[in-house]
Amino acid sequence: MNIASFQTFVVENPPPHFGGPYFIFLKLITDTGIYGYGEAYCLPFNPQTVATMIEDVCERFVLGHDPFKIEKLWRVVYSSAYTQHPDLSLMGVLSAIEMACWDIIGKDLDKPVYELLGGQVHEKLRSYTYLYTEPEDKVDVYTDPDLAAERAVKVVKQGFSAIKFDPAGPYTSFDPRQLSLEALENAERYTRQIREAVGPHIDLLFGTHGQMTTSSAIRLAKRLEPFDPLWLEEPTPPENEREMARVAKHTSIPIATGERLTTKYDFARVLQAQAASILQMNLGRVGGILEAKKIASMAETHYAQIAPHLYCGPIVGAANIQIATCSPNFLILESIQRWEGFHAEILKTPIHWENGFVIPSSAPGLGVELNEEVALAHPYQGKRRHLEPLERPL
């Protein structure tokens, strides 16, 4: 069996755009008629350009390749054009390809991917969601602690036992920065009000995006410690794990990081530096499913846990479910709310979420099928990139 053809889909994610303004999907088709889906996360280019990049790699290396030979394909693409380095863009492309190959392998063997990577460990997967600004809101939920507390109570009533929020302010191209006293006070008040609203048994996940210098992150962490967050996420930029390790050494709050890292090599440096104890690999960027499994295994030796990241579409979400299900050191899974709306519509069968948990599918491969009619009916024709920092200092 070999890959005979491929197709890319650049799909608009309609308002309110939870998970980003668009999703980029790949379909690989074999000469036996079996097909598999993959998804690339957050390449820093126009999405149509990203689709062309995926197509270029598929034409060069994937057509005619046996989808079972994951390791060989991975090394060839990783080393192509004499790169052999954890490049975010190439790894996003490779992640989509590798993911689709695993979907094919599972379908050919009539097994979910998790059964091929050690077997099912977890019968259900605890999940969390961000607090999102809703279309009817008159203010940003991250600037209004009262609204945030009200929204957090609503989320808990839906069944979630963990909530993520990011009140530290915008991220910019000029970060890291020293947060102002006003910003620190707002973050402290915000967290306090949510803790008071939801009580002591709901985990609070404090999300940031590398906005802070090391000293500023330590100042913030000291303010947050009384509220016992489950983690402080990416307190400093991902480029210097030694500085993030300094934050980790100065706080009792677990440090989480990983959405802007890729391959086992990046994550090995994080573990060696003791920069984080919770790894948030995004399977649409990290290098694919097998690479994520290797990272999870490395993490086990450091007593670190995995919490797969998701701010994209449900194909990456389905891959996250596969790796979480077969990893003993799985902690918690990011959900886009309850997998409703367009995240359900774009799949033939939605991801099964029930009372705060994702229930892994026993269907073969990734366990989901892209609804191609819906995908083709929602082409993305804009020019935005997936995420955009402010291009001015604060």
| pLDDT per residue rounded down to tens, the chain (394 residues) | 999 999 999 999 999 999 999 999 999 999 999 999 999 999 999 999 999 999 999 999 999 999 999 999 999 999 999 999 999 999 999 999 999 999 999 999 999 999 999 999 999 999 999 999 888 898 999 889 999 999 999 999 999 999 999 999 999 999 999 999 999 999 999 999 999 999 999 999 999 999 999 999 999 999 999 999 999 999 999 999 999 999 999 999 999 999 999 999 999 999 999 999 999 999 999 999 999 999 999 999 999 999 999 999 999 999 999 999 999 999 999 999 999 999 999 999 999 999 999 999 999 999 999 999 999 999 999 988 899 999 999 9
pLDDT value of position 289: 98
Q: Is 14 exposed, middle or buried (0-12, 13-18, 19+ CB in 10 A)?
A: exposed
At 41 the pLDDT is 97
Note if the pTM is more than 0.85. yes
The predicted pLDDT at position 359 comes to 98
Biggest CA-to-CA distance, the chain: 62
Q: Where, residue-wise, is CATH 3.30.390.10 in the chain?
A: 3-110
Instruction: Report pLDDT for 136.
Output: 87
Alpha-carbon distance 54 to 7, whole Å?
10
CATH 3.30.390.10 is held by the domain 3-110: yes
d(CA 346, CA 324) in angstroms, rounded, equals 22
Residues of the chain with CATH 3.20.20.120: 115-366
Is the peptide bond preceding residue 176 cis, with omega within 30 degrees of 0? yes
| CA separation for the pair 160, 355 (Å, rounded) | 7
Query: Domain 115-366 belongs to what topology?
Result: TIM Barrel (3.20.20)
- What pLDDT, on a 0 to 100 scale, did the predictor assign at position 103? 99
